Structure 1
Amino acid sequence: MGLSGTRLGAFRAYFFGYFVCTAGFLFGYDTGIVGGILEFKSYINDFGYKDQTTVSAVMVSLQNVGAFLAALAIFSVSERYGRKKTVQAAMIVFCLGVVLQVVPSHSLACFYIGRFVAGLGLGAGTAVVPAYNAEMAPKEIRGKLGSGMQWLFALGVMLSYWIDYAVKITLPVSSKQWQIPVGLQMVPAGVLGLGLCAMPESVRWLAKKGRFDEAWESLKWMRACEGPEVKAEFNEIRVGLEEELRATEGFNKRELLEPANRYRLLLAFFMFCGQQCTGMTALAYFGPQFFKLLVGNNTNQSLLITGLFGAEKFITVGIYILFFSEMWGRKPTLWISALSMAGCFIIVTVVKETTPAPDAKATPAGIGMVAMIFLTNSIYQFSWGPLPWPYTAEIFPTRIRAVGTSVAVSTQWLFNFLFSLVTRYMMDSWGSYVFLFYAVLDIIMAIIVFFFVKETKGKSLEEMETIFHSRAAFDVDAVRRETLDADKFKVHNKSVDYS
């Protein structure tokens, strides 16, 4: 599907969409950095612990708890102060948390507090950015831009793996070996926070607040045009908001329990729950530990494989976003990929349980299992990795989008917390059967998608009301045609009254 408008407008749409997804980069980098530094003797020596399983579980889960709480509560801040200021504040909090982690305290308690504080900023940022992005994106490429959260996530994971590997083999055993990877997180956080100063506020948030002049200026800047199509889009936004207000007469909690909104909230919960149930986020956190199960107890080798795993993640999700995200429907992509991942995990489990255990050297069976995990990763990056981000942001009406995305992303962090907390213990107790556990979850997800998920590709945010049979549904095509027809004969100041 082509993107109408000017080349400058297209550039701004892509630039803005991927720039705000820097929050996804932070998420990915932080996710990937943990498994590597836990393998460093320098980190173990500085903090003086022996129970690595407990420390790794607590380190990951504490940040996820902070992120969950922030993502769940941030919608009220975002609704009051706007998407832009909320993301900037979140980046400040995140940086404070990183500082607490890298100070030479030699105290696990201080490091844990830093993880929790950074989690607050990370959770807030990742909850607001999908809504911010969706509210600014042209409908033709909304899926492509929203999926940028996963692409930047994959980039963050990849870089974190290679940075871990680089400092492990090039630096002597010292505090710098783990402080450098952790401290580098402040760079993208600072870039996002400061860079937003030059970006406009959300068009739909401004319109919802009755600031129509500012909303029009924001939309004009984003589209780099003020022609008939842009005027029609703006009028569609205004009429959509008016219909929402007419149908609900002011926001209240009971509105969330209306059939259409309740259905959307359940879908949002399911999408991010499903993303974590694939098992791929657990692999991202504990890649080196997972690959030791397959290739033996060789730290450098497992770190190298993990680095290649991260590179594959970034490349495959990029291919999907650039070439297939607006070609394939959301629904078939999700259920077919879930069944495919289940098949791969079953094969890994069977091979692992029917071949000799690897030592420090790779075996043909070990290489085959690693290849199968890489294939599973590719399938995930073409489906459950990127799709929940745009899908959960686009299905909600403007009035409750902040609440909806908060519920969705907080679900992501909740199950991220649960799986990161139990995965290390599952690996210790079950060994390769942990892959079979995730295969069963994938099959369940495929069934739910097939029967309950609705297709949204190519639809405007206002058209979602019709798809979900909301009381605020209206004839979007009629409104669009009316504006376009009127603009054929009138100049801008007479065609649409923005006062």
Structure 2
Amino acid sequence: MARLGGTRLGAFRAYFFGFFVCTAGFLFGYDTGIVGGILTFKAYKDDFRYTDQTTVNAVMVSLQNAGAFIAALCIFPVSERFGRKKTIQVAMAVFCAGVILQVVPSHSLVCFYIGRVISGLGLGAGTAVVPTYNAEMAPKEIRGRLGSGMQWLFALGVMLSYWIDYAVLQTLPVSSKQWQIPVGLQLVPAATLAFGLFTQPESVRWLAKKERYDEAWQSLTWMRASDGPEVKGEFNEIRTGLLEELRATDGLKKRELLEPANRYRLSLAFFIFLGQQCTGMTALAYFGPQFFKLLVGNDPSRSLLITGLFGAEKFITVGTYILFFSERWGRRPTLWISALLMSVCFVIVTVVNNTTPKPQQEVTSAGIATVALIFLTNSIYQFSWGPLPWPYTTEIFPSRIREVGSSVAVATQWLFNFLFSLVTPYMQKSWGSYTFLFYAALDVIMAIIVWFFVKETKGKSLEEMETIFHSKAAFDVEVARHEGEEIPDNVSALEVHNKGSKGSDSSDKGI
């Protein structure tokens, strides 16, 4: 760890920052988990007086996802102008306003729905900007681990929400508090993230892109807790990369997006997050109690208990992957192998469930077997498609279009989150356990696409991505880093910039 910025303090700051900003992922997971539970509560049905359970299930989840999709797609100009930190803080304030509208005892589904849309706007904006902010601050050696923190905190949020739902159902009498407490608790992490960011620096690469080099240098040296040769080399690599992007693209964003390398990257970002939703595991997270009801019988308490254990397993497995395997396994083989394994598990679940007697109140051996297979599938997902899309879709883009690329990626996640959450209740009602077979087919398709089109990026710096994707802005990263490391210790950030500019100018003359 000491090699990250040269000090243990730098390593600590990198890990703390990376996982702290991923509190946005916790909010995403917590909201994902509580919805399926409170929709099964008698208190919620009594307060809002509705009869069409399937429609409310679909609309309740999909409305927030729709708001999140709009925000994720449109937030990048705001992030580009005002910075990553301020954008996330405003997003958390919007999210809190939406939660308050949901908690007030209005007894109106319309008011609750409006709150869902508003909180979705804040959540979508936060989850779109956080991966970019995280990637721009992380040392390349642990960027995958820190980026995957979105999924780890997501899993923690899901796990806690399941157990909170179970706790209020078991300990509180039937009243509005049963659903208001789980929903209202979202205010705590959102406020913590908003206020906690006052203690953290702005993105190094965003500051450098705005030509605020002294501030960028201060941000980098604080985060690495060092101003030695290795940090100077990293700063020079960042600066040279930005200059090369400017030179190659000539300042035209439309031209940048139409460049073959960037079209390819945008397509990959779209596919990776589409693939994450096609696994079926997000739908299972939203509607866990309803899915487990298909497998173990009509007992709400039992379904919630199994869902709670499912959430705990999710948190433990994704944590194990992030801490021990995220920087050892390649991105590409992890994705295609896991997709095939999940497909096999879903096929077996479907076959067993449809060739054995359907469970009612009792627990059957077939029900236990299918639940065990779902838990196994969940573990595979947490070692692959759960955490990997977050770091992958931010590390493949150059700084000049990273906001656009991240917005496209996360907006895709929210768009198909919206679509699958909207149709899954109807699929469950019409197809029953054959829903798993549908997701098995999608998993096979994803594995094929990964095999042919996804590029390996493990262990590469953000600037090295230009060479991997054959961009016009590609440059010799090792030369730039070496030039930065040769700068004396008493040289300021502006002088580092000026020295690099001269080197870049001389290179341009030779082209």
* Counterpart residue identity of residue 280, structure 1: M
How far the C-alpha of 1:252 sits from its partner, in A, is: 2.2
How far the C-alpha of 1:292 sits from its partner, in A, is: 0.2
Name the structure 1 match of 2:102. Answer: 101
CA contact (8 A) 1:320 1:382 kept: yes
Pairing of 1:70-109 with structure 2 (within 5 A):
70-109=71-110
Instruction: Name the SS for the 2:244 alignment partner.
Output: helix
- TM-score, scaled relative to structure 1: 0.98
* Counterpart residue identity of residue 317, structure 1: V
Instruction: Answer yes or no: is 1:121 the counterpart of 2:110.
Output: no
How far the C-alpha of 1:255 sits from its partner, in A, is: 1.6
CA contact (8 A) 2:236 2:480 kept: yes
How far the C-alpha of 1:257 sits from its partner, in A, is: 1.4
Pairing of 1:205-244 with structure 2 (within 5 A):
205-244=206-245
How far the C-alpha of 1:371 sits from its partner, in A, is: 0.1
CA distance in 2, matches of 1:111, 1:490: 58
How far the C-alpha of 1:143 sits from its partner, in A, is: 0.1
CA distance in 2, matches of 1:162, 1:254: 50
Instruction: Name the SS for the 1:220 alignment partner.
Output: helix
Pairing of 1:12-91 with structure 2 (within 5 A):
12-91=13-92
Name the structure 1 match of 2:401. Answer: 400
How far the C-alpha of 1:474 sits from its partner, in A, is: 0.1
Instruction: Name the SS for the 1:236 alignment partner.
Output: helix
CA contact (8 A) 1:32 1:156 kept: yes
* Counterpart residue identity of residue 368, structure 1: A
CA deviations on 1:284-332 (whole Å, 9 max, x unpaired) are 0000000000000000000000000000000000000000000000000
Q: 1:231 to 1:279 in 2, by over 3 A?
A: same
CA distance in 1, matches of 2:172, 2:255: 58
CA distance in 2, matches of 1:245, 1:147: 30
Q: 1:99 to 1:234 in 2, by over 3 A?
A: same
How far the C-alpha of 1:31 sits from its partner, in A, is: 0.3
Q: 1:119 to 1:493 in 2, by over 3 A?
A: closer
Instruction: Answer yes or no: is 1:200 the counterpart of 2:205.
Output: no
How far the C-alpha of 1:46 sits from its partner, in A, is: 0.1
* Counterpart residue identity of residue 368, structure 2: I
Instruction: Answer yes or no: is 1:245 the counterpart of 2:240.
Output: no
How far the C-alpha of 1:361 sits from its partner, in A, is: 1.4
Q: 1:490 to 1:419 in 2, by over 3 A?
A: closer
CA distance in 2, matches of 1:367, 1:10: 44
How far the C-alpha of 1:482 sits from its partner, in A, is: 2.3
CA contact (8 A) 2:205 2:216 kept: yes
CA distance in 1, matches of 2:357, 2:283: 25
* Counterpart residue identity of residue 171, structure 2: T
Structure 1's unaligned 5+ residue stretches are none
Q: 1:495 to 1:32 in 2, by over 3 A?
A: closer
Name the structure 2 match of 1:307. Answer: 308
CA distance in 1, matches of 2:489, 2:424: 63
* Counterpart residue identity of residue 277, structure 2: Q
Structure 2's unaligned 5+ residue stretches are 499-511
- TM-score, scaled relative to structure 2: 0.96
Name the structure 2 match of 1:367. Answer: 368
Pairing of 1:221-300 with structure 2 (within 5 A):
221-300=222-301
Pairing of 1:157-196 with structure 2 (within 5 A):
157-196=158-197
Name the structure 1 match of 2:471. Answer: 470
Q: 1:349 to 1:479 in 2, by over 3 A?
A: same
How far the C-alpha of 1:68 sits from its partner, in A, is: 0.1
* Counterpart residue identity of residue 143, structure 1: G
How far the C-alpha of 1:272 sits from its partner, in A, is: 0.3
CA distance in 1, matches of 2:279, 2:494: 51
Identity %: 79
Instruction: Answer yes or no: is 1:492 the counterpart of 2:491.
Output: yes
Instruction: Name the SS for the 2:202 alignment partner.
Output: coil
CA distance in 2, matches of 1:3, 1:59: 47
CA deviations on 1:325-364 (whole Å, 9 max, x unpaired) are 0000000000000000000000000000100000111100
CA distance in 2, matches of 1:141, 1:351: 41
CA distance in 1, matches of 2:211, 2:130: 22
CA distance in 2, matches of 1:467, 1:208: 22
CA distance in 2, matches of 1:191, 1:3: 30
* Counterpart residue identity of residue 192, structure 2: V
CA deviations on 1:354-378 (whole Å, 9 max, x unpaired) are 0000011110000000000000000
Q: 1:259 to 1:494 in 2, by over 3 A?
A: closer
CA distance in 1, matches of 2:354, 2:169: 32
Instruction: Name the SS for the 1:91 alignment partner.
Output: helix
Aligned residues: 497
Q: 1:44 to 1:244 in 2, by over 3 A?
A: same
Instruction: Name the SS for the 1:471 alignment partner.
Output: coil
CA distance in 2, matches of 1:381, 1:464: 25
Instruction: Name the SS for the 1:497 alignment partner.
Output: helix
* Counterpart residue identity of residue 429, structure 1: S
How far the C-alpha of 1:481 sits from its partner, in A, is: 1.8
CA contact (8 A) 1:338 1:446 kept: yes
CA deviations on 1:244-296 (whole Å, 9 max, x unpaired) are 00001113223211100000000000000000000000000000000000000
CA distance in 1, matches of 2:203, 2:252: 19
CA distance in 2, matches of 1:93, 1:411: 21
CA contact (8 A) 2:214 2:493 kept: no
Name the structure 2 match of 1:135. Answer: 136
CA contact (8 A) 1:3 1:141 kept: no
How far the C-alpha of 1:490 sits from its partner, in A, is: 6.1
* Counterpart residue identity of residue 475, structure 2: F
CA distance in 2, matches of 1:497, 1:122: 38
CA distance in 2, matches of 1:260, 1:354: 49
CA distance in 2, matches of 1:162, 1:403: 37
CA distance in 1, matches of 2:417, 2:201: 32
How far the C-alpha of 1:491 sits from its partner, in A, is: 3.6
Tell me the C-alpha RMSD between the 2 structures.
1.2
CA distance in 2, matches of 1:450, 1:476: 28
Instruction: Name the SS for the 1:44 alignment partner.
Output: helix
CA distance in 2, matches of 1:53, 1:96: 27
How far the C-alpha of 1:33 sits from its partner, in A, is: 0.4
How far the C-alpha of 1:479 sits from its partner, in A, is: 1.2
How far the C-alpha of 1:478 sits from its partner, in A, is: 1.2
How far the C-alpha of 1:493 sits from its partner, in A, is: 4.0
CA distance in 1, matches of 2:493, 2:249: 30
CA deviations on 1:10-62 (whole Å, 9 max, x unpaired) are 00000000000000000000000000000100000000001111001000000
CA contact (8 A) 1:3 1:140 kept: no
